[in-house]
């Protein structure tokens, strides 16, 4: 699992967190998890940054790093500095890995890869279905003439 000095979550703790994640109320943390999983799906999980120094400049516009950064900012609908965005991706990936939503592949490069697990794919599908039902519950009454 995670390389950490902290004790890992128990199976029961993971189940409770997944129940809370899927309880039907979308909060900030749940939204971040969903957007991270969507980001992984859109990028094929090819770009999970390792530690990025705070003083490292933003990548030049003609690089893949810049493309991933812009994609992430578009999904999040926020404007984060490069180092903050990398920290966000790393932090959220740690949560998702701990919950068993992704499998992280540690590489010798500056970036790791992730693969959505079956559970991760099911969570993304459930959240997307839930959001679609919420949209329809708003639009259906408006279609009555």
The SS3 of residue 105 is strand
What domains lie within the chain, and their CATH numbers?
11-134 (1.10.10)
Q: Give pTM, 2 decimals.
A: 0.80
As given in the structure block, the two tokens for residue 43 are: 């990028």
Asked if 83 and 58 count as a contact pair (C-beta separation under 8 A), the reply is: no
As given in the structure block, the two tokens for residue 133 are: 């039902």
Share above pLDDT 90 across residues of the chain, in percent, rounded to a whole number:
30
Between 53 and 57, where is the model more confident? 57
Positive/negative CA dihedral, 18, 23, 27, 31: positive
- Among the listed residues 43, 56, 60, the one whose alpha carbon sits nearest the alpha carbon of residue 113: 43
What mean pLDDT is predicted for residues 118-127? 92
- The pLDDT of residue 114 is 94
pLDDT at position 113 over 80: yes
């Amino acid at each position: 699992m995670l390389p950490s000095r902290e004790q890992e979550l128990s199976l029961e703790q993971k189940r409770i967190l997944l129940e809370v994640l899927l309880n039907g109320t979308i909060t900030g943390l749940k939204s971040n998890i969903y957007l991270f999983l969507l980001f992984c799906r859109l990028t094929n999980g090819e770009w999970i940054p390792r530690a990025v120094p705070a003083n490292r400049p933003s990548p030049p516009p003609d690089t893949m790093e810049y493309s991933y950064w812009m994609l992430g900012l578009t999904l999040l609908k926020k404007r984060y500095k490069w180092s903050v965005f990398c920290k966000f991706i790393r932090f959220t990936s740690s949560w998702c890995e701990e919950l068993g939503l992704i499998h992280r592949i540690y590489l010798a490069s500056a970036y790791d890869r992730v693969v959505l697990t079956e559970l991760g794919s099911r969570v993304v599908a459930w959240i997307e279905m839930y959001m679609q039902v919420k949209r329809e519950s708003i639009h259906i009454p408006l279609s009555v003439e």
